[in-house]
Amino acid sequence: MSRHRERALLLMDRNRPDEAIREFHGALTEDPVDATAHACLAILHAQRRAWKQANDHAQQAVALSPDRAFSHKAMAIVFFHRNRFDQAASVITEAILLDPHDADLFRLLAAIHLSTADYTKALKATDDGLAIDPEHPGCTTLRSRTLLLLGDREAAAATIDEALRRKPDDSAIHATQGWAMLHAGDPQRAIAHFREALRTDPEGMYARLGIVEALKARNPLYRRLLICFLRMGKTLPLVRWLLVVGGAVAAEVIAERPPTNPTEVWIIGIVLSIYGVFATLTWVGDPAFDLLLFLDPVGRHALSRSQRKSAILFGTLLTVALIPAAVGMATGSTAAIVMAIQWALTAVVATTIHACADGWPRATMVVIVGGVTATAVMSTALLLAGTSIRMNFRDILQLEHVNGSTGVFFFFWFVAMIVSVFMTGRRVRH
């Protein structure tokens, strides 16, 4: 082994990618057909999102050493980072055939299945890896995460407790334990584990996302909402739409068969209010509590750049909605209330922008939300024009251009919400 490659492997192990890349290039200068150096460079470039370099080095590694599992593992890692999970699974399966006794290959296979929400296959892959190495940290943490997503919190806790006992300083294990605490509804203990994870690995995304959720979960309302979200898992988008459809059906039934006595009115009012609040929170609960955390001088530093942007956008549009709402409640202006509803709905759809993956899904939602905002501005301008000449709301709506702009807004908003369901589940393939 050359001195360059020896130093590069040490730097790679210590998470110093820039220096490792330089040393691997030095190793290739001495030996251009060093398959290990090419494979390691592929992994390092994939982590830096340098897709062309990563792909080129991975292909060279496989071409130079097609019978080595590590070459195929590097190619699988490149595909994994590029969100090409089918290809990644195919390549890592080939690596396992070449070396069926490497537990880390099963760890990568489990991560691929976990990314595609195939939890049953992910669990099997972790079990296969642990059968080879019962103390493999990667397989252990992924097994615990998978069990949490499958709803088996007791088995997940037992798995991660044992892993933490063996490796008390492992950042990934602490991050997984933190999420287990969130599933159990204990944000304070979760914060402690996330902080420990970030102490040893400040860039750990799993821990960074977790500590934000844990800080928000100190609020009792969000804590209960988060537990619901975690238990819904990948069915959350469907649940959101079922709640919307359910509310529309309920409103239609009540309109056709209105309550006949005060007691029924009171009961239906309470039920619909609770239902409406819960349905709304499934859409805006996350950005709303991001906004509260952003307003905290300490808490805002825990938010990612994307989360801060989302909080600012949501807060701005919500403020715009509150102004006509206050005017409407003070003066009894129905037109002002309609404006408030339109801007509140715009704030809701705007929260979907940063819920989308960076790239074409987010760009698509920016354009769509821009269209919704434009129709809200147009509708607001026409409503203001009508109220400025002291027309009552019913007469304003009878104006063709006002009625049309209001209808266009609600149509655009509904379409935007439908599109957002599909966009939030899309990954950008590089």
- Nearest partner of 189 among 154, 223, 141, judged by Cα: 223
* Position 198 in a domain: no
pLDDT, residue 301, reads 79
Buried b (16+ CB within 10 A) or exposed e, 365-400: beebbebbbebbebbbebbeebbeeebebeebbeee
Using alpha carbons, list the distances in angstroms from residue 182 to 3, 29, 36, 157, 293: 46, 49, 40, 12, 17
Q: Are residues 266 and 408 in the same domain?
A: yes
| Residues 271 and 396 occupy one common structural domain | yes
Last residue of a domain, one of 145, 163, 179: 179
**Are 163 and 309 in the same domain?**
no
Domain boundary among the residues 118, 144, 179 is at: 179
Alpha carbons 386 and 381: distance in angstroms, whole number = 9
Rg of the chain in Å (alpha carbons): 27
**Does residue 174 share a domain with residue 234?**
no
Distance of CA 321 to the CA centre of its chain: 26
Write out the two tokens for 136: 């493999």
Q: How far is CA 245 from CA 238, 242, 402, 410, in A?
A: 11, 5, 27, 15
Question: Is residue 316 domain-resident?
Answer: yes
- Please tell me the distance from the alpha carbon of residue 78 to that of residue 87, in angstroms, as a whole number: 10
Query: How far is 379 from 374, CA to CA, in rounded Å?
Result: 9
Tell me what pLDDT residue 389 has: 46
- Tokens representing residue 213 in the block: 């959720």
- Asked if residue 48 lies in contact with residue 17, where contact means CB atoms within 8 angstroms, the answer is yes
b/e code 56-73 from CB counts within 10 Å (16+ = b): bbbbbbbebbeebbbbbb
**For residue 329, is it within any domain?**
yes
- Which residues, 6+ apart, have CB-to-CB distance to 111 below 8 Å? 80, 122, 142
Per the domain annotation, does 215 fall within a domain? Answer: no
Nearest 5°: phi and psi at 300?
A: -60, -25
> Is residue 32 located within the same domain as residue 116?
yes
Number of domains in the chain: 2
Q: State residue 15 phi and psi, 5-degree precision.
A: 60, 50
Same domain membership, residue 277 and residue 159: no
Percent of the chain as helix, strand, coil, to the nearest 5: 80, 0, 20
pLDDT tens, position by position, 160-183: 888 888 888 888 889 989 988 988
Q: Are residues 301 and 399 in the same domain?
A: yes
The answer as to whether 46 is a domain residue is yes
The reply to whether 133 and 242 lie within a common domain is no
Q: Quick check: is 219 in a domain?
A: no
Does residue 276 sit within a domain?
A: yes
How many other C-beta atoms lie within 10 A of the C-beta of residue 156? 24
Q: Could you tell me the residue range of the domain that residue 234 belongs to?
A: 230-423
User: Does 120 reside within a domain?
Assistant: yes
- The number of C-alpha atoms within 13 Å of 197 and in the hemisphere containing its C-beta is 26
Whether residue 117 is found in the same domain as residue 247: no
Between CA 94 and CA 122 the distance in angstroms is 17
* pLDDT at residue 284, as a whole number: 79
143 and 245 together in one domain: no
Q: 160, 179, 198: which is the final residue of a domain?
A: 179
CATH number, domain of 160, equals 1.25.40.10
Residue 274 and residue 334 in one domain:
yes
Half-sphere exposure of 396 (CA within 13 A, CB side): 24
Low-confidence ranges of the chain (pLDDT < 70): 1, 233-238, 240-241, 244-245, 247-248, 251-260, 265, 269, 385-405
Residues 146 and 261 in one domain: no
